[in-house]
Structure 1
Amino acid sequence: MSRRAEEWELVSGAADETGANAYRPLLFSIAYGMTGSVGDAEDLVQDAFLGLARARRAGTVIADRKAYLTTAVTRLGIDHLRSARVRRETYVGDWLPEPVVSAGSGGPGPAEHAELADSLSMAFLVLLESLSPVERAVFVLREVFGYGYPDVARITGKTEVNCRQIFARARQRVTAGGRADTGPPPPARRARGEELARRFFDAAAGGDLDALLGMLAPDVVLHGDGGGKAQAIARPATGADRVAKLLVAGLRRVGRLGVSYRPAMVNGRPGAVMYDAEGRVAGVVGLDLDGGVIRAIHSVVNPDKLRHLGPVSEVALLPQR
């Protein structure tokens, strides 16, 4: 049996025996809020469970499994971010998080991924990139998951006073960077957003510039993440007229390649998953809505950030040298 298989058996047994599997959605969401990566979040959760299993095997009595696992996954996330910072600094093009696609909206994402991660919009996760690893941990625990300062202090290993200072500093930095949109939209606003998204994709695919301009905020921003591996805009594009023309040209090009879209909820917000003619994932587009208009568009076509959604298409890939 391989080492990974042994670890999985150990983790599964301990999780089932202790009932700790019920905490997986929360742990995944904390780890995803820390990293912006589905794959990394899954690994962090697995490592946290592995630590629990090893501690129990060694005879350690763990009175509060939820507190133990929450602390473990947060501190693992802090360590991960410290080691990943250099990779982020050398990332090719615009960095966007790996999208979480809700299964309930026709998307292929696992249900547990979407349960709490709906609170983490693409725009919000991009803003968190300005924070240090510890600032990000404190801010996510407090702002997104509502932990009190005593719990935040225990989880991060800081004092309550220090956590209050860290949170205030983090909130100021995030607010300066833009709107901090946390929490899924209420049902009525979500329904209006889904209808706006449907009209948006129909207009873009049909080349209806006038209709698009009526749905885009004047200062709308288009973000594209190809990671240097797939075709995407080199830097964010701003302005309704420019963004509308880029969208029409882009969708017209991929449409000739047999790419179509299916509406989905992306990080709890309206969007779509793009598929090629063989049904492979070609990209994910998420929309940031406010006041009945689209304020930001996040397009992820980097194949490395789509693999958790299923087989990935090659239609947008750049030729490799």
Structure 2
Amino acid sequence: MPGPADEDGTGEDETGAAAAGYRPLLFSIAYGMTGSVGDSEDIVQDAFLGLTRARRAGTVVADPKAYLTTAVTRLGINYLGSARVRRERYVGDWLPEPVVVPADRPGPAEYAELSDSLSMAFLVLLESLSPVERAVFMLREVFGYGYPEVARITGKSEVNCRKIFARARRHIAAGAGEGGAPPPARQAETEELARRFFEAAAGGDMDVLLRMLAPDVVLHTDGGGKTQVVEHPPAGREPVLRLVLGLFRRCRQLGVSLRPAWVNGRPGAVMYDARGRVASVFELDLADGAVQAIRSVVNPDKLGHLGPVSDIARRRPPG
């Protein structure tokens, strides 16, 4: 006889224990759909609660992984339908909530399935897709599901899923051609390049920074209208260099510190104020021995899952 299931769906029976092992995959699917750490965790939790309720009602779930994957995907589609209006009203650049793993230790299990395909640049590209297109594209392209499985999970026909995927891939290819992220360099190279970049920025070394920036480098900053950021993403070595040097000069004056981290599978850093509160998260796109793009999340609403949030960058009310 199976043992009782806990309220979170991870019961003591063998089936429940096995289902709990799917959390990393489920989180990755939810995060790929939503771009939100907190909402992804809620979606995964809701999926497990649904599994628990189904079992308590006497339903035999022969394949918990399929059940949970379907639940998470459909919850993600529903989430995107309600989030679409909020995204359209978003102030300034939109970036996903950063998934941060300290550079000196492995990440938590929930983030273990995150791949380079869930970088910030890729998630921004996915914003051009409809909720169903995003689900089909993620399941097929990122997680390697076959069309029969994608059809079952999304509730669409296999023929329809093939058409949806082809359409989504065209949208993604068009967006990537307009400034998508370049292929990443090897991990050892990116770690060293990121270290030198942040050291040069913190030390105000203009010559080193200038040599490290790609000619068409771009700086994206997500403040959500709540922090003081540049309204239009600057592009090119000189504009980006001036902004980076100005930012780090002000940070030195305020006693801000920087800690290396892996951000969405890419090298980056977390910025802390003098009281140890999170002020910003940086992610770097590195390729061909240069920094191709810098992405910075400053919106306090997207940093709370990392700890207490700083107020040094908050937009001050007039007067």
Normalising by the residue count of structure 1, what TM-score does the alignment of the two structures yield?
A: 0.91
The residue that corresponds to 2:153 in the other structure is 155
8 Å contact from structure 2 (residues 99, 263) kept in 1: yes
Q: Deviations over 1:235-282 (max 9, x none)?
A: 211111110111000111122111111111111111101011121111
Amino acid at match of 2:66: A
Contact in 2 for aligned 1:149/1:160 (Cα 8 Å): yes
Structure 1 residues without counterparts, runs of 5 or longer: 1-7
Q: Distance in 1 between matches of 2:96 and 2:273?
A: 22
2:221 is matched with 224
Answer yes or no: is 1:265 the counterpart of 2:289.
no
Q: Report the AA paired with residue 34 of structure 1.
A: M
Distance 1:278 1:176 in 2: 44
The offset of 1:16, in angstroms, is 6.5
Specify the alignment match of 1:50 in structure 2. 49
Deviation at 1:110, TM superposition (A): 5.7
The offset of 1:50, in angstroms, is: 0.9
Equivalences for 1:179-198 in 2 at 5 Å?
Answer: 189-198=186-195
**For residues 54 and 287 of structure 1, what CA distance do their matches in structure 2 show?**
43
Q: Secondary structure at the match of 2:226?
A: coil
Change in Cα spacing, 1:320 to 1:64, as seen in structure 2 (3 Å) is: farther
- Alpha carbon RMSD of aligned pairs, Å? 2.0
Contact 1:144-1:182 within 8 A present in 2 as well: no
Query: Which residue in the other structure is 2:175 paired with?
Result: 177
Alignment length, in residue pairs?
A: 309
**Judging changes above 3 Å, is the alpha-carbon distance between structure 1 residues 139 and 182 closer, same or farther for their aligned structure 2 residues?**
farther
C-alpha displacement of 1:201 = 0.9
Check the 8 A contact 1:259/1:277 in 2, yes or no.
yes
- Contact 2:182 2:285 (8 Å CA) reproduced: no
Pairing 1:1-321 to 2, within 5 Å after superposition: 10-14=7-11, 18-19=16-17, 20-103=19-102, 105-106=103-104, 111-119=108-116, 120-178=118-176, 189-320=186-317
The one-letter amino acid of 1:32's match is Y
Q: Is the 8 A contact 2:268 2:281 kept in 1?
A: yes
Asked if the contact 2:129/2:168 (under 8 Å) is kept, the reply is: yes
Report how far residue 118 of structure 1 moved.
Answer: 3.1
Which whole-Å CA distance do the structure 2 matches of 1:215 and 1:60 have between them?
A: 58
Relative to 1, partners in 2 of residues 1:79 and 1:311: Cα closer, same or farther, differing over 3 Å? same
Which amino acid in the other structure matches residue 208 of structure 1? D
Residues 45, 303 of structure 1: alpha-carbon distance in 2 compared, 3 angstrom cutoff: same
Question: Alpha-carbon deviations, 1:260-313, whole Å to 9, x = none?
Answer: 111111111111010111211111000011211111110001111111111111
Q: Is the 8 A contact 2:95 2:124 kept in 1?
A: yes
Supply the distance in 2 between the matched residues of 1:71 and 1:15 (Cα, whole angstroms). Answer: 23
Q: Which runs of 5+ in 2 are unaligned?
A: none
1:11–1:49 contact (8 Å) kept in structure 2:
yes
Overall identity of the aligned pairs, in % = 68
Higher deviation after alignment, 128-137 or 8-17? 8-17
Judging changes above 3 Å, is the alpha-carbon distance between structure 1 residues 25 and 255 closer, same or farther for their aligned structure 2 residues? same
* Range moving further from structure 2, 249-258 or 61-70: 249-258
* 8 A Cα contact 1:15 1:49, kept in partner: no
Asked whether the equivalents of residues 197 and 270 of structure 1 are also in contact (C-alpha less than 8 Å), the reply is: yes
SS in 1 for 2:21: helix
The C-alpha deviation readout for 1:199-234, integer Å capped at 9, x for no partner, is 111111222222112111111110000111122221
Q: For the residues of structure 2 that align with 1:24 and 1:39, how far apart are their CA atoms?
A: 14
Aligned 8 A contact 2:182 2:287 in 1 = no
